[in-house]
Amino acid sequence: MRETINVPQAEIERQREFMRLVEKLPERPHSYHIVSMGCQMNERDSETVAGMLEAMGMARQPVREAADLILYNTCCVRENAENKALGNVIWLKELKKDRPELMICVGGCMTQEKGMAAMMKQRYPFIDLVYGTHNLYKLPEYIYRVITEKHPVVEVMDIDGEVVEGLPERRKKHFSAFVNIMYGCDNFCTYCIVPYVRGRERSREPEAILAECVRLQDEGAQEIMLLGQNVNSYRGGGAAFAELLYRVDRLGIPRIRFMTSHPKDLSDELIHAYGELKHLMPQLHLPVQAGSDEILRRMNRRYTREHYLELVRRLRGVCPDIGLTSDIIVGFPGETQAQFEETMSLVREVRYDAAYTFIYSPRTGTPAAKMPDDTPYEVKSERIQRLIELQQAISLEVLEKQVGTRQRVLVEAASTRDAGSVGGKTPRGHMVNFPGGPELIGTFADVEIVSAGRNTLRGRRIIQDG
Ligand code: 5AD
Ligand code: SF4
């Protein structure tokens, strides 16, 4: 873990000056649309981008085709994410034929891949701005240059290790907020491109994090999600993650969650926190990736199946009702049928509430991409299908157990499926839909669970007397 180096406030001021300058340019875009791909980290970055664009006088345009500026915040963790981003970019070329004044910006993890920015510059000259993950804070300066110099700007920096504080932001939801606590990853799991595109681990100062939480609390946050690629290796101002969590808990925000945790770094203190902290929700995303020791070793995960299962037992010892979720990769190079069966048996043993399952996708530049892989894609497909079916059956059983219980739900949105219904999460993170109006969004509702579906629960609101 690196020492925290903040981007100097003078530089942030400089960028704020560019925001003011862009706002004064008559030919600037007046509306923006952001397409955020990938993980919560990207979503949080998109909130900062939105804040900067609004400080430049642009208004959010919900219809992509109608916006003056379209920005793609890309992901590259798997090949399909990358193909989707590139496919979108090609489609933008057509759009620009009709609307030459349209400004197209592409940022995020994909642009940070080796050789990608150069390729984009050459093959997609209609893109006005390409920037990376380490220079997002310079967006105002780049947009100013695109407008005034009238040619594309392609700037991706290799250096990393800085933390940026004090940029504007436009939060998606005021009642439930993401708070970054650390950036980057030093784990180098052999399949993963994240350490190459997000850089080395660096943590924000606890004071900056706490100040942000207090501000969000003042603005009405009922739930905080602390974010990092590997929050367990957080070390800011000498404080470990569990310490930070205790301090955040004391602020009194009703719900605290965090992600993502690496099993090798899950400390005893953090496990105890589940028994002690009032506001920490009984939910943990603890990606296992595979159930075979040999595959875990080749993935460089640095824990064994037994160590992982022991963590699960201890977590449930402290917090019997904890909801666990996972990420699982199927078809890692050389994975045998027997090794895959070990993943299946681990899933049966742990009984996750939910699991995100992926077929291994080779990423150029990662060690696993050079490992021999003779398993046909059809076999991998069959494996993942079986895993998905197993997990669906378990998820359904877990949800059915909730029927008849009373749950406090933080209402997030109007239900897209049922008119007159709203949806939100229980403490354990289960999604519940129940009849109710949009005035409930952002508030807590007490709900009795009446039935369980494949991924969601249905409930009935309990109106208490008095
Ligand atoms: N192929 C498939 N899945 C991957 N993940 C990361 N890299 C790859 C890859 N190359 C998955 C891991 C990780 C999640 C965010 O994405 O399961 O936890
Ligand atoms: Fe990728 Fe592993 Fe880091 Fe997660 S812990 S971001 S899977 S390298």
151-198 residue pLDDT tens: 999 999 987 778 999 999 999 888 999 999 999 999 999 999 999 999
Q: Is residue 168 part of a domain?
A: no
Beta strands 421-425 and 431-435, pairing class: antiparallel
Same domain, 122 and 188: no
Indicate whether residue 274 lines ligand 1 (CB < 6 A): no
Q: Is residue 31 part of a domain?
A: yes
Number of structural domains the chain divides into? 4
Percent of the chain with pLDDT over 90: 93
Distance (Å) from CA 361 to ligand 1 centroid: 8
Q: DSSP alpha helices (H): ranges in 286-376?
A: 293-298, 305-318, 337-350
Same domain, 266 and 333: no
Using the predicted structure, report yes or no on whether residue 214 has a pLDDT greater than 70: yes
Distance (Å) from CA 290 to ligand 1 centroid: 11
Using the predicted structure, report yes or no on whether residue 265 has a pLDDT greater than 70: yes
Q: Mean pLDDT score of the chain, rounded to an integer?
A: 95
Same domain, 47 and 142: yes
Same domain, 240 and 374: no
Same domain, 212 and 194: yes
Mean pLDDT, rounded, for 37-64: 96
416-438 residue pLDDT tens: 888 899 999 999 999 999 999 99
Tell me which of 401, 422, 444 is where a domain ends.
401
Beta strands 59-60 and 31-36, pairing class: parallel
CATH code, domain with 397: 3.30.750.200
Indicate whether residue 290 lines ligand 2 (CB < 6 A): no
Distance (Å) from CA 458 to ligand 2 centroid: 35
Same domain, 105 and 235: no
Q: Which domain does 84 fall in, by range? A: 9-155
Would you call 108 helix, strand, or coil by DSSP? strand
Q: Is residue 146 part of a domain?
A: yes
Q: Is residue 110 part of a domain?
A: yes
3-state secondary structure 369-434: HHCCCCCCHHHHHHHHHHHHHHHHHHHHHHHHCCCCCEEEEEEEEECCCCCCEEEEECCCCCEEEE
Ligand 2 pocket, mutate which of 41, 197, 229, 332 (most atoms under 8 A from CB) = 229
Same domain, 76 and 177: no
CA-CA distance, 278 to 254, in Å (whole number)?
8
Tell me which of 155, 186, 220 is where a domain ends.
155
Tell me which of 351, 370, 401 is where a domain ends.
401
Mean pLDDT, rounded, for 57-66: 96
Using the predicted structure, report yes or no on whether residue 466 has a pLDDT greater than 80: no
CA 247: distance to chain centroid? 23
CATH code, domain with 424: 2.40.50
Same domain, 428 and 397: no
CA-CA distance, 441 to 273, in Å (whole number)?
29
381-411 residue pLDDT tens: 999 999 999 999 999 999 999 999 999 999 9
Q: Is residue 191 part of a domain?
A: yes
Indicate whether residue 361 lines ligand 1 (CB < 6 A): yes
Q: Is residue 52 part of a domain?
A: yes
Indicate whether residue 373 lines ligand 1 (CB < 6 A): no
